[in-house]
Amino acid sequence: MPNCLWAARGQMLSFDAPEVAAHCLGVARLGGLQVNAPMFNLWVQVRGDGWIESREGRFRMRRGDWMAFEKESTPLVQGGPQGLCIGIALDASALDGLQALSDGSLYAGRGRLPAGELRMLLRLWRKAAQAGGEPLSVRPLLLQLAHVQRELAARVRRCPGRSRSRKRQVFGRMQRARLYLEGNADRVVRISELADLTSFSSWYFSKAFHALYDESPQQLSVRLRLERAGHLLETTSMMIGEVAAATGFDNCCSFARAFKNHHGVSASRYRTRLRHAAAEAADEVYAAA
């Protein structure tokens, strides 16, 4: 596609020196793209799967997933064998223009898109790419992206700060910390790491985080690690002790207690239920055939 940096079929490219305020990017079929330009960037998985590695961690992308990163994150986007991931990189002037248009902004974070919004976003991205990032062509895409992040934007007013711009700044940093927790669900993350990442004191960070998300960073970290444990029990043949180690628990006893408190059953029972459910589903398919 013209006027779009496109990595496909095993290519590994680097995005370093933007020429326009908004630049369209794309990764497909085992292509890889390293974003080195200091620009806010947002990615949407349109087809297949892929991975993103950034300073916040490593993330799996599936169809309909979106992820957004601050300019310091420098993500590496890698496509799967049948993957298609589209992105856009925005400088400060493009983000300021969005605020002027809709009194909103874009933030670091992740989420999922329903099929209808995914198709709309793809159409707008194609138009922007064909126009070479020209401001008028990018405007509908930016407004749609702001709509995609509407649930995030609704949280901004809960952030500490006297002015709206200060609240947005704090929220952006908190979102980056949340991404860091999600990208490091294989270990215990220290509060000092998150405070350094956001340039806040540990006390201020903990207070602001709890006010924004209704749980402490430690509580969110444990919840994310236990959700990862459930996913590993479902998708791998790892032993329970290996799952505990892969989610940052020091010993099987502490893992067993935490897992049962969160999921309501023991890890072994959880896996057994999943296997029974999968077997019943296979039997239903066989009987229908």
pLDDT band at 35 (very low <50, low <70, confident <90, very high): very high
Per the CB < 8 A criterion, the answer to whether 29 and 154 are in contact is no
Looking at the fold, whether 127 and 220 belong to one and the same domain comes out as: no
Question: Across all residues in the chain, what is the average pLDDT?
Answer: 92
| Continuous segment of H or E residues that includes residue 189 | none
Summarised one tens digit per residue, pLDDT across range 244-282 is 999 999 999 999 999 999 999 999 999 999 888 777 776
- In this predicted model, which residue has the larger pLDDT, 167 or 19? 167
Structure tokens at 131: 């126009």
Residue 57 confidence (pLDDT) above 80:
yes
Looking at the fold, whether 134 and 10 belong to one and the same domain comes out as: yes
Which stretches of 131-208 are assigned E, i.e. beta strand? none
42 CB burial (10 A radius; 0-12, 13-18, 19+): buried
Domain boundary among 154, 170, 194: 154
Residue 1: strand, helix, or coil = coil
Q: For the chain, what's the residue count? A: 289
Asked whether residue 147 is domain-assigned, the answer is: yes
Asked whether residue 243 is domain-assigned, the answer is: yes
Summarised one tens digit per residue, pLDDT across range 99-131 is 877 777 899 999 999 999 999 999 999 999 998
| pLDDT given at position 282 | 66
Give the residue among 188, 178, 186 at the shortest CA–CA distance from 227. 186
Domain boundary among 113, 137, 154: 154
pLDDT band at 79 (very low <50, low <70, confident <90, very high): very high
Asked whether residue 73 is domain-assigned, the answer is: yes
Residue 205 confidence (pLDDT) above 80:
yes
Residue 91 confidence (pLDDT) above 80:
yes
Asked whether residue 279 is domain-assigned, the answer is: no
Looking at the fold, whether 240 and 269 belong to one and the same domain comes out as: yes
Looking at the fold, whether 112 and 9 belong to one and the same domain comes out as: yes
| pLDDT given at position 100 | 79
pLDDT band at 3 (very low <50, low <70, confident <90, very high): low
Pick from 79-83, 135-139, 285-289: least confident: 285-289
Q: Give whole-number Cα distances, 120 to 46, 98, 143, 257, 281, in Å.
A: 11, 18, 12, 45, 34
| pLDDT given at position 214 | 94
Residues in CB range of 7: below 8 A, 6 or more apart: 13, 26, 27, 28, 31, 32, 33, 79
Q: Give whole-number Cα distances, 96 to 57, 100, 103, 165, in Å.
A: 28, 6, 9, 11
| pLDDT given at position 285 | 65
CATH code for position 220: 1.10.10.60
Summarised one tens digit per residue, pLDDT across range 133-185 is 788 889 999 999 999 999 998 899 888 888 888 999 999 999 999 999 999 99
| pLDDT given at position 40 | 95
Residue 2 confidence (pLDDT) above 80:
no
Asked whether residue 285 is domain-assigned, the answer is: no
Summarised one tens digit per residue, pLDDT across range 178-204 is 999 999 999 999 999 999 999 999 999
| pLDDT given at position 21 | 87
Looking at the fold, whether 117 and 42 belong to one and the same domain comes out as: yes
CATH code for position 68: 2.60.120.280
Looking at the fold, whether 190 and 240 belong to one and the same domain comes out as: yes
Q: Give whole-number Cα distances, 229 to 95, 153, 281, in Å.
A: 38, 30, 23
Give the residue among 140, 129, 113 at the shortest CA–CA distance from 46. 113
From CA 58, how far away is CA 47, in angstroms rounded? 19
| pLDDT given at position 277 | 79
DSSP string, 57-95: EEEEEETTEEEEE-TT---EEEE-TT-EEEEEEE-HHHH
Residue 44: strand, helix, or coil = strand
Query: Into how many domains does the chain fold?
Result: 2
Other beta carbons within 10 angstroms of residue 133's beta carbon come to: 22
Asked whether residue 280 is domain-assigned, the answer is: no
- What range defines the domain where residue 231 resides? 158-273
Looking at the fold, whether 138 and 191 belong to one and the same domain comes out as: no
From CA 187, how far away is CA 181, in angstroms rounded? 9
